[in-house]
Amino acid sequence: MMEHWNPLGIVGVITAFNFPNAVFGWNLALSMIGGNMTILKPAPTTPFIAIATVKIIQAILEKNGLPKSIVTLCVGGPEIGERIAKDKRVNLVSFTGSTKIGKIVQSHVHDRFGKVLLELGGNNSTIILEDANLELAIKGSIFGAVGTCGQRCTSLRRLQIQESIYEDVKAKLMKAYPTISIGNPLEEGVLCGPVHSKMQIDIFTNGIEEIKKQGGKILCGGKRIERPGNYLEPTLVEIDSKAEILQHELFVPILFIMKFKTLEEAIENNNNVPQGLSSSLFTNDLKNLFKWTGPLGSDCGIVNVNIGTSGAEIGGAFGGEKETGGGRESGSDSWK
């Protein structure tokens, strides 16, 4: 008896606007190592980087006597993605995007008994315990929430702070938030760039109104910045841990802060959302570390300790659980 792995054939890669090149690179590397052909469908708002990348790859293939069609590009709207999802010749479809669209892609691919790799919503949480290195925890949390203007799938959305240090951490966050540099992210020292489109601005504006209705308190930010481009104020919100809005990922630079008493309570809050991508615990106690990373700890695909939710995670098994999709785009078994 022998276990043997063969190429799938054709892999379809549908990418999102926020990492239009990196996600394609991760998937393409695995696909080519497995001996497959790859077809890329980028987000309709970020086609130029996909065109440039594929031209470079095809030039290298030609230089080495290989057919350019090993990597194929198809730019367009949702109709292209639907064709890829429904085409029986595409043996695996890798989709990065919203949970709503991911469900549609999954149903089309499963209808024809194909394979899917889904990287969907995040809604990530960080827990700061009273024994944590607070300087490290606060810096990691601010970068996780504000870096890339809150538009990473691993961006920090929910920050849980143990009640004994809550007021101290809250005061330090409120002092730090007004100092965040906002502008062209290509300029040195700028942490927060623009959001991707006008649609994100609408999500932000509607989200702020809903936060107020649910008893949330705007501590910092909360407004659109009146300047050319899609700029928003990084926003800090104090809210009850049971608020309904915490069940949803807004994908804009809004950070919710809330207090908790015990680690068990914080873990329950962390897990009590439909999404399960990235999570983080700041502690100096090994007992807490192993509880957090064990079977009764975080239910996310990425479980961090003493670093924020958002970093260079692709070296490991990148992906999430629950409504995040269950896929892995790196790590030791991802080639399978």
Catalytic residue set: 119, 153
Task: Give me the count of residues in the chain.
Answer: 336
In angstroms, the CA 254 to CA 221 distance is 9
Give the residue carrying structure tokens 């549609």: 104
Residue closest to 129 by CA, chosen among 166, 94, 98: 166
In angstroms, the CA 263 to CA 281 distance is 10
Inter-CA distances, 74 with 14, 20, 310, Å: 10, 14, 30
Residue 324 near residue 298 (C-beta atoms within 8 A)? no
Inter-CA distances, 109 with 80, 91, 94, 115, 210, Å: 14, 9, 10, 7, 35
What lies within 8 Å, CB to CB, of 37 at 6+ separation is 9, 10, 11, 31, 69, 70, 71, 72
In angstroms, the CA 154 to CA 123 distance is 8
| Residue 162 main-chain phi, psi, to 5 deg | -60, 140
Residue closest to 83 by CA, chosen among 5, 12, 6: 12
